[in-house]
Each structure stands twice: as structure tokens, then as C-alpha cells.
């Protein structure tokens, strides 16, 4: 797909509840010609993911608010507000909160992972 300039108005985004966390697509692969997708993730207290990999996409996290414990490959560390974490495709990783929630931006390149979240979650209608 050829890239096209995109604009997504606030409040028009799709959101899904996956387990206890909220994933809101800010801009998806349909908007970027398949090049990327970005979502805001509200990770609930004691929430997050188990160790997993993405075979076809790199992932980048920007921590907007809160603190998370991350495992990326063999490294385990805490990331906090303002930190950025890049995870190359095929790298085992996880992200977890402690007793307080966190809010992060997650960007996948290329896009296309949206269907994983859509099929695993329930749509949220605010």
C-alpha cells in the first residue's frame, strides 16, 4: 500500500479491552498504508503481558505515565515516564505494572498487528 497523509480526530479511535488492559488504536495500518500502527495502552494495576514475541514487527514503547517492569531478551529493567524502549522483531519480551496503573504508547512497524488485539479483546464503546 502506498503511504498517504493521515489524520485521525480525537475521540474517533477504536478501543478494545484485552484481559484487563485497554488498547486504543490512535492510528492503524489502514491509515498508514501498512507502515505502522500506534496505540495508547492503559495497563491496569498488576496488568501487562506474559513473555511473547512478534515475528513480523518491531515494537517501540514510550512510557507516558507510570512505571513498568520490562523484560527484553535477557534484560529486565524498570521503565518510567519519558523512557523509550525499542524491541526488535523476534525478541522475547514482556511489560508489567506493579500495584499502580501505567499508560504507554506502543508503535509497531510495520503495521498489521491490530487484528491480534481485535480478536483477543472486546470492543469498548464509551
Cα 66 from Cα 42, distance rounded (Å): 10
Say whether 116 sits in a helix, a strand or coil: helix
Q: How many domains does the chain have?
A: 1
Per-residue model confidence as pLDDT tens digits over 50-109: 999 999 999 999 999 999 999 999 999 999 999 999 999 999 999 999 999 999 999 999
Residue 2 lies in a domain: no
Q: What is the pLDDT of residues 2-60, one digit of tens each?
A: 556 777 888 888 899 998 999 999 999 988 889 999 999 999 999 999 999 999 999 99
The answer as to whether 3 is a domain residue is no
Residue 9 within any structural domain of the chain: no
> Is there a domain that residue 10 lies in?
no
The domain containing residue 23 runs over which residues?
15-124
Rounded Cα distance between 27 and 39, Å, is 7
In a domain, 74, yes or no: yes
- Asked if the structure places residue 5 within a domain, the reply is no
- The answer to the question of residue 7 being in a domain is no
Would you say residue 68 lies in a domain? yes
**Whole-structure pTM value:** 0.90
Burial of 3 (0-12, 13-18, 19+ CB in 10 A): exposed
Per-residue pLDDT, 3: 56
CATH code of the domain in which 95 resides: 2.60.120.10
Amino acid at each position: 500500500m502506498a503511504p498517504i497523509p493521515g489524520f485521525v480526530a480525537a475521540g474517533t479511535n477504536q478501543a478494545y479491552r484485552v484481559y484487563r488492559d485497554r488498547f486504543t488504536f490512535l492510528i492503524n495500518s489502514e491509515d498508514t498504508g501498512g507502515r505502522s500502527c500506534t496505540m495508547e495502552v492503559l495497563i491496569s494495576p498488576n496488568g501487562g503481558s506474559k513473555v511473547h514475541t512478534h515475528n513480523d514487527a518491531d515494537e517501540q514503547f514510550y512510557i507516558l505515565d507510570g512505571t513498568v517492569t520490562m523484560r527484553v531478551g535477557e534484560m529486565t529493567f524498570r521503565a518510567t515516564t519519558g523512557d523509550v524502549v525499542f524491541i526488535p522483531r523476534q525478541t522475547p519480551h514482556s511489560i508489567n505494572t506493579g500495584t499502580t496503573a501505567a499508560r504507554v504508547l506502543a508503535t509497531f512497524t510495520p503495521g498489521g498487528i491490530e487484528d491480534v488485539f481485535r480478536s483477543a479483546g472486546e470492543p469498548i464503546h464509551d
